[in-house]
């Protein structure tokens, strides 16, 4: 990977907005030593230099452990360097819009907007089953599972997590299962790790091809058609840190997700 693979949607002196493809991890960590991350690319492209190793030893994981939207567990001014200005995160297999601050002042401003829920995000997801009612809100706490630190779930003592949804359409798979699936528009009001994926599993409608939350047998069959989670960060709205005007950016479904939709049969 090189910096030419940064799919830039918008750039000015303050912000960089990219369209992250599925399969690329956002932030560096101990588990990404042998792969190039979005953070690596951004450091090269913008020229953000990490703090000296002597000052960062044992602290990188703390910075990465912050909330998906906002670094609540770590000094935000230091997090700018630890995360190369990346303001929020999306999962490795999730595609779509990712916002990056090009300087510390912008980073702090955008972090504040996320924490105060002034940033509005819209996702698209294909899920198993017929979701009813066609609009609703999922409001259950999400936290890391004590018996599996890799996964999250609805747990007592978890953090407040709210996701609104709307059904965009019902479809039938054109395979042996002939299963009904639903295309959803999702608006997370909070930014917990794996929030949308956990909430949809809780609702009984896991995301298509979700290797963690759809169930082993189900995701194995799904992945014959799609080798990634069907979750896309489609719209991002926020107040521009310089003009202070509300700006909105959109990202269409990537080719592999659009291809799946083309193979589905619409149903009433």
What pLDDT is attached to residue 51? 67
Indicate the domain borders of the chain.
Answer: 1-116, 118-268
The CATH number of 118-268 is which of 3.40.50.970, 1.20.200.10, 3.30.2350.10, 3.30.980.10?
3.30.2350.10
- Tens of pLDDT along 180-199? 999 999 999 999 999 999 99
Active-site amino acid positions = 91
Amino acid 58: pLDDT: 40
Q: What is the pLDDT of residue 6?
A: 85
pLDDT in tens, 77-126: 788 988 999 999 999 999 999 999 999 999 999 999 999 999 999 999 99
Angle made by CA atoms 44, 83, 36, in degrees to the nearest 5: 50
pLDDT at 73: 44
pLDDT at 120: 97
Q: What is the pLDDT at residue 79?
A: 86
- Do residues 169 and 182 touch, judged by C-beta distance below 8 A? yes
User: Chain centroid to CA 226: how far?
Assistant: 18
Domains 1-116 and 118-268 share a fold: yes
**pLDDT (0 to 100) of residue 69:** 57
In this predicted structure, what is the pLDDT of residue 61? 42
Whether the link from the prior residue into 68 is cis, omega within 30° of 0, is: no
What is the reported pLDDT for 208? Answer: 98
Global confidence as pTM? 0.90
pLDDT at residue number 71: 45
| pLDDT for the residue 62 | 40
How far is 87 from 98, CA to CA, in rounded Å? Answer: 8
* CATH code assigned to 1-116: 3.30.2350.10
Listed as ranges, residues in the chain with pLDDT below 70 are: 1-4, 50-76
């Amino acid at each position: 990977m090189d910096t030419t693979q940064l799919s830039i949607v918008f750039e000015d002196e303050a912000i960089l907005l990219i369209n992250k493809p599925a399969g690329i991890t956002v932030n560096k960590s101990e588990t990404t030593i042998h792969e190039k991350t979005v953070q690596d690319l951004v450091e090269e492209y913008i020229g953000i230099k990490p703090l000296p190793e002597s000052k960062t030893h044992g602290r990188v994981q703390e910075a990465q452990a912050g909330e998906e939207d906002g670094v609540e567990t770590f000094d935000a001014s230091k997090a700018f360097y630890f995360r190369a200005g990346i303001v929020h995160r999306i999962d490795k297999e999730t595609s779509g819009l990712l916002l990056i601050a090009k300087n510390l002042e912008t980073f702090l401003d955008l972090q504040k907007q996320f924490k105060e829920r002034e940033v509005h995000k819209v996702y698209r997801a294909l899920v198993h089953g017929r979701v009813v009612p066609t609009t609703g809100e999922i409001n259950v706490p999400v936290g890391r599972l004590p018996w599996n630190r890799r996964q999250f779930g609805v747990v007592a003592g978890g953090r407040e997590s709210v996701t609104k949804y709307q059904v965009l359409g019902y479809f039938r798979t054109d395979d042996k299962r002939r299963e009904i699936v639903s295309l959803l528009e999702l608006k997370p009001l909070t930014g917990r790790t794996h929030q949308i994926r956990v909430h949809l599993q809780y609702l009984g409608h896991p995301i298509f091809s979700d290797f963690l939350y759809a169930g082993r047998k189900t995701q194995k069959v799904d992945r014959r058609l799609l080798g990634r989670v069907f979750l896309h960060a489609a719209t991002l709205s926020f107040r521009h840190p310089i003009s202070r005007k509300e700006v909105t950016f959109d990202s269409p479904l990537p080719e592999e997700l659009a291809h799946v939709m083309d193979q589905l049969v619409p149903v009433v």
